[in-house]
A and B are shown apart, each in its own frame.
Chain A
């Protein structure tokens, strides 16, 4: 089974917009992949005139909220960086090792990369990165903000349509729907960006742990 990758269009967001944007994108993707019986829940964004749909699973909502909080924490520690959040869907395969009872393998069949460019906060003046967005004086602040907001809304719509098109175009790689109760049909994980200075990063370690290779545990 091939693994499809979708790189979503980069979104330039301001710090206070991160939550809404991430909720919107993540829930939209998951709604497409929660192929169990769902009662869709429509959520209106407060900052934008966009209505997205949640699958209605509270656990999903909780998980997403946690990840968003973690991401915001990361952004605060690593300002002026382009960040990428990866939402991956995988299959759990039981791999029978030769002398081990069971090995669980995660076979990712889909990766969604959400690219964010968090605008620098107004109080922080920095020119070291081309990513930084120096906010002008308060006189232009509101106007610039509204312009950026409008551009972001348009970009967000584009991203949502990008998701819809991707889901429509690529269906073959989606595994068969497991015959089980619940909204979520396929396990997923949200991988936040790691520190650039860490070659491996916690997520890599976690992944290794999850795969359950005992050789890595040492």
Chain B
């Protein structure tokens, strides 16, 4: 019996060491840079001493299964950490970690194309595999191999099968078979596709966008069917023992072509053409009170409020820093809503992916630009506004006044007034856009640009109970008053949310009236309408369209302006109307930041065709990019140029 005890103890030891050895073999060829030996694969002429003296230099553990391996601290660490009973399986996941570095625009541009005709959800589901875990810091992980080592204990009644043989023979046989199995394992790990990745990582000093990681555990989530369908299985013949059997198998991805193609492309520094300065550098860029989480353009309006406050505007239009970052981030955020994990919270200020913001911003605009369905407006709104909306983000900041004017104009439209009690305040439009902006991410076909603008402005106002200075550039929302108002019902603190078009209340947020306004027309951008200036979500295009529509139907500007002036009751309204006039008079005079507003105003020309609007949008886009990248001094130049270009296309009727 003693022998049986010792035999069983030996068996246990064999099994334990089998786990250790298999882990060692696997990690030795899957954990980069763990081996001290040269992997170059050059034909190493083994000196006679290497094998003859092997016994002297062999570590005790090496002798197990007659396989002397290189040192693998990771394997030891993992083993110590994992160490479980022999009855629990050991699952080793080899993970391919891909890094998305710096939100490389190149990575996103292609995706921008996907945005066009897909909902955000679709986009992102296409972009990401379900088995890829998206990490907030721009990494994606994919399990490319799963090794399962386990000892399946046999039932006690079957344990006596091998008893007729001498135990020593049994043990020897088992040990021999284990050796054979591990030899096979040693070869197999080098024949599977992941080995190539391992070698690439080990050999070259290039900075790669991917790496290999591993996880050792006892229990893992099983693969989904889809994942498993993509993997192949290779199982080693189990080694039968008296009380069970040792099993080893691997699920591996046979195709890792995407990684291999990456391997040949080292990361290189790239110039970011549209780099937008850090918002930290510009306080106005900050959106301090952005309660909304990612994708929420609500943040923008808050800051917008600050920048768009009448006081600000009155004081110095130029002081409205054209801060593209929030605008960029806002549409970006909205668009990125589904993939929030990839992008920083849409708190705007951060520009970690500044470039990406810019690019994404562009993408967003592109995304929405061609959209014919400006949902907010009941009537199809020509994409005239799109160009403006394109710059909405950028423009909103600096161009609150003109936008407000636009909004006011629309609001002053009799139709609007009739529909609700909303005073003709441009901010309404702004708000309108806000939600539309928010919707943008949800419904890419919407007028995101318009929404952007609106949202930005609205955001500003949301922050405090001042009259919403929703940029009127969300002009397209003729129906804004109804829909847009609807769109800002509840998410925002109602007291905060100031309907931009609430000229009467101006700085006074009237939740009630706002609510009325908002409730009037439940815009399709319902998500946005939930009171939050998720303006970004709203399709800018839709907003633009609505705005243009409004322009078409609206009475002459001058009249509107006067109406607006009279309608304004809040203190700021006067200033606001003044500024409105000012904008009307001198769209061209809009300097650095104002250029955008003039551009926006020009965008309101209802007479513009879609093609023209597209052109303008592109122009605005470029202008925005220039503004972002060139800074203040050059901004005026570019803005002026663009403004001039816009003006040339402008029929001159819009004179906000």
Contact of B66 among A36, A43, A50, A171 (CB under 8 A): A36
Contact of A38 among B42, B45, B68 (CB under 8 A): B68
Assess whether B58 is interfacial by the CB under 8 Å rule: yes
Given A28-B187, A35-B180, A58-B46, residue A51 in contact with residue B41 (CB < 8 A): yes
CA distance A141 to B593 in the complex (A): 65
Of B39, B66, B169, B196, the most chain A CB neighbours within 10 A belong to B66
Contact B55 A51, beta carbon cutoff 8 Å: no
Contact A35 B43, beta carbon cutoff 8 Å: no
CB-defined contacts of A43 to chain B, threshold 8 Å:
41, 43
CB-defined contacts of B45 to chain A, threshold 8 Å:
58
Contact B50 A164, beta carbon cutoff 8 Å: no
Contact B66 A35, beta carbon cutoff 8 Å: yes
Given A57-B51, A171-B180, A174-B176, residue A31 in contact with residue B41 (CB < 8 A): no
Contact B187 A56, beta carbon cutoff 8 Å: no
Given A37-B58, A43-B43, A51-B195, residue A58 in contact with residue B187 (CB < 8 A): no
Given A171-B180, A181-B55, residue A176 in contact with residue B172 (CB < 8 A): yes
Interface of B is mostly: helix
Assess whether A52 is interfacial by the CB under 8 Å rule: yes
Contact with B along A45-74 (1 / 0, CB 8 A): 000011111001110010000000000000
Assess whether A41 is interfacial by the CB under 8 Å rule: yes
CA distance A40 to B190 in the complex (A): 12
Contact of A32 among B169, B172, B184 (CB under 8 A): B184
Contact of A164 among B43, B55, B188, B196 (CB under 8 A): B188
> A51-B41, A164-B184 are known contacts; what are 6 more A-B pairs with Cβ within 8 Å?
A39-B46, A52-B190, A56-B46, A56-B50, A164-B188, A176-B169
Measured CB to CB, the nearest residue on chain A to B173 is: A176
Interface pairs A-B: 8 shortest CB-CB: A44-B41, A168-B237, A37-B66, A39-B68, A51-B190, A164-B184, A171-B177, A32-B183
Contact A58 B48, beta carbon cutoff 8 Å: yes
CA distance A36 to B51 in the complex (A): 10
Q: How many residue pairs, one in A and one in B, have C-beta atoms under 8 Å apart?
A: 101
Contact A53 B190, beta carbon cutoff 8 Å: yes
Contact A171 B176, beta carbon cutoff 8 Å: yes
Contact A40 B180, beta carbon cutoff 8 Å: no
Interface size classification for chain B: 35 or more
How many residues does chain A have at the interface if contact means C-beta atoms less than 8 Å apart? 36
Given A36-B66, A168-B236, residue A50 in contact with residue B55 (CB < 8 A): no
Shortest beta-carbon distance, B561 to chain A, in Å? 74
Contact with B along A4-40 (1 / 0, CB 8 A): 0000000000000000000000001001100111111
Assess whether A157 is interfacial by the CB under 8 Å rule: yes
Shortest beta-carbon distance, A162 to chain B, in Å? 12
Assess whether B181 is interfacial by the CB under 8 Å rule: yes
CA distance A53 to B139 in the complex (A): 34
Contact with B along A168-197 (1 / 0, CB 8 A): 110100101100011100000000000000
Contact B180 A56, beta carbon cutoff 8 Å: no
Assess whether B54 is interfacial by the CB under 8 Å rule: yes
Assess whether A144 is interfacial by the CB under 8 Å rule: no
CA distance A26 to B66 in the complex (A): 20
Contact B187 A35, beta carbon cutoff 8 Å: no
Given A38-B68, A176-B176, residue A167 in contact with residue B50 (CB < 8 A): no
CB-defined contacts of B229 to chain A, threshold 8 Å:
none
Shortest beta-carbon distance, B482 to chain A, in Å? 66
CB-defined contacts of A51 to chain B, threshold 8 Å:
41, 190-191, 195, 199
Assess whether B186 is interfacial by the CB under 8 Å rule: yes
Assess whether B213 is interfacial by the CB under 8 Å rule: no
